[in-house]
Structure 1
Amino acid sequence: MARPPRFSTDLLLDAAVALGAASGPAGVTMSAVAQETGAPSGSVYHRFPGRDALLAEVWLRTVERFQEGWLAAVDAETDALRAGRAAARHVVTWSRAHPRETTLLLYGAEDFGRSGWSDEHRARADRGGRRVRAALAALAAGLGADAPADRERVALAVIDLPLSVVRRPLRAGRPLPAHAERLAEECTAALLGQAPEPGADGPG
């Protein structure tokens, strides 16, 4: 039975996430990843042909993992208002569990060099974006949000607003407060025109 590689793709990407969280996208370089892991530079280039590919994989792995959980949170609820609150809560809960990855998401694909990505990497990003937009459209329809401004409010309520709850403490290097999930839900519920359910406090 073959031994697993000493410097796996995930190990190298984990190092790249740590570098990006500490120094921003500029800190994610082939040489920095090699130094962080103790890997020969050849091992890094074996998995990523260049820095554009490394940046693409760091971003895509991070955003795809976030999207999977967010989409599952939305799909788990049949009531649109509950789904909206669950989506907002997931943003905070996931950020609490993955602070480094969330720090990367507070940048954006362009910060990670999307213009230099391969067609395959851009196609992956576009597929993820379409899935999120479809979920937002279904959520908006369930809430009766038909006008463009109303649909924009739904996106703000379930993505942008909860991200704003985590942005300040994460960028200051502080843990998220225990009430962050409830705060996100309360703000989202208010924006969607529905009071939050009682008893949904603390980390989840």
Structure 2
Amino acid sequence: MSRKPTHTRDSLLDAAADLAASHGAAAVTMSAVAAAVGAPSGSVYYRFPDRATLLAGLWLRTVDRFQSGFLEALRIDPPQRAAMGAAHHVTDWSRRHPTEAAVLLAGREAFGFAQWSAESRDVAATQQARIDDAVRELGDRLGYHSRADRERLALLIVELPHAAVRRCARKAGADLADAAAAVDRIVRDALGEGAGTLSDAPSDPAHTG
């Protein structure tokens, strides 16, 4: 009977995420991950042939986990509720997953994007395309067809909540829950200027993990 691997891909990536959140992406090395899980370096190299693959794996997994709920929120009806739910997901997910949020805040360049394999860069491009397409579809549902309106929507449901998360991460004592509530109000008020069915939207936007 074969033995179940002691150190799985996810357990190694979990250790890498902890290192990145605590000490920055530069601290994520093969030897550091091995030490963090109490494994020989060979166990890490078995799962990830080099550091670039490890860093790419951490980033891509984190993006997938974040995008799952974000994309689901964007499909909610009516579209005003979807916009508010998507913006809320950014702050809510970040509050519930601070370690992974720290990875995203660092940005993929911090994780050596230029050294990633072509395959990993293609996966990253596909992830970004999913977001772009989903936001574009939401814009269509909201009647936002001009470039300016689409840019406004992206700023509202992507850039604004991410900026709130970043500000709280950098400011000692900042409360992300308070910032999330402020983002919810801003998004709701902004949609109210051009959305005739805003009353259909909930005060606590639907969101998923």
- Are the counterparts in 2 of residues 56 and 112 from structure 1 also a CA contact under 8 Å? yes
The separation in 1 between residues aligned to 2:173 and 2:12, in whole angstroms, is: 26
| Alpha-carbon distance change, 61 to 139 in structure 1, aligned in 2, over 3 angstroms | same
Q: Over the residues paired in the alignment, what is the CA RMSD in angstroms?
A: 2.2
Provide, for residues 44-74 of structure 1, a one-character-per-residue CA deviation record: whole Å limited to 9, x for no partner.
1111111100110010000111011100111
Structure number with greater CO (CA < 8 Å, separation at least 6) is 2
| Alpha-carbon distance change, 70 to 19 in structure 1, aligned in 2, over 3 angstroms | same
The separation in 2 between residues aligned to 1:175 and 1:98, in whole angstroms, is: 16
1:200 to 184, 191, 204: 204
- Are the counterparts in 1 of residues 55 and 112 from structure 2 also a CA contact under 8 Å? yes
Bigger drift between 162-171 and 187-196 goes to 187-196
- State the match for 1:151 in structure 2: 150
Task: Tell me the number of residue pairs that the alignment of Structure 1 and Structure 2 aligns.
Answer: 202
- State the match for 1:181 in structure 2: 180
How far did 1:181 drift? 3.1
Equivalent position amino acid for 2:14 in 1: D
- Are the counterparts in 1 of residues 91 and 165 from structure 2 also a CA contact under 8 Å? yes
- State the match for 2:68 in structure 1: 68
The separation in 2 between residues aligned to 1:22 and 1:44, in whole angstroms, is: 20
| Alpha-carbon distance change, 106 to 166 in structure 1, aligned in 2, over 3 angstroms | same
Equivalent position amino acid for 2:108 in 1: A
- State the match for 2:49 in structure 1: 49
The separation in 2 between residues aligned to 1:29 and 1:155, in whole angstroms, is: 35
- Are the counterparts in 1 of residues 91 and 176 from structure 2 also a CA contact under 8 Å? no
What SS class does the counterpart of residue 65 from structure 2 fall into?
A: helix
How far did 1:35 drift? 1.3
- State the match for 1:33 in structure 2: 33
- Are the counterparts in 2 of residues 170 and 176 from structure 1 also a CA contact under 8 Å? no
The separation in 2 between residues aligned to 1:198 and 1:108, in whole angstroms, is: 32
The separation in 2 between residues aligned to 1:175 and 1:97, in whole angstroms, is: 15
- Are the counterparts in 2 of residues 103 and 171 from structure 1 also a CA contact under 8 Å? no
- State the match for 2:15 in structure 1: 15
Unaligned runs of 5+ in 2: none
Equivalent position amino acid for 1:164 in 2: A
The separation in 2 between residues aligned to 1:199 and 1:68, in whole angstroms, is: 22
Equivalent position amino acid for 2:79 in 1: A
Unaligned runs of 5+ in 1: none
Equivalent position amino acid for 2:204 in 1: A
The separation in 2 between residues aligned to 1:4 and 1:173, in whole angstroms, is: 43
Equivalent position amino acid for 1:181 in 2: A
The separation in 2 between residues aligned to 1:102 and 1:198, in whole angstroms, is: 26
Q: TM-score, normalised by structure 1?
A: 0.90
The separation in 2 between residues aligned to 1:2 and 1:191, in whole angstroms, is: 58
- Are the counterparts in 2 of residues 85 and 188 from structure 1 also a CA contact under 8 Å? yes
How far did 1:171 drift? 3.3
Equivalent position amino acid for 1:67 in 2: Q
- Are the counterparts in 2 of residues 99 and 170 from structure 1 also a CA contact under 8 Å? no
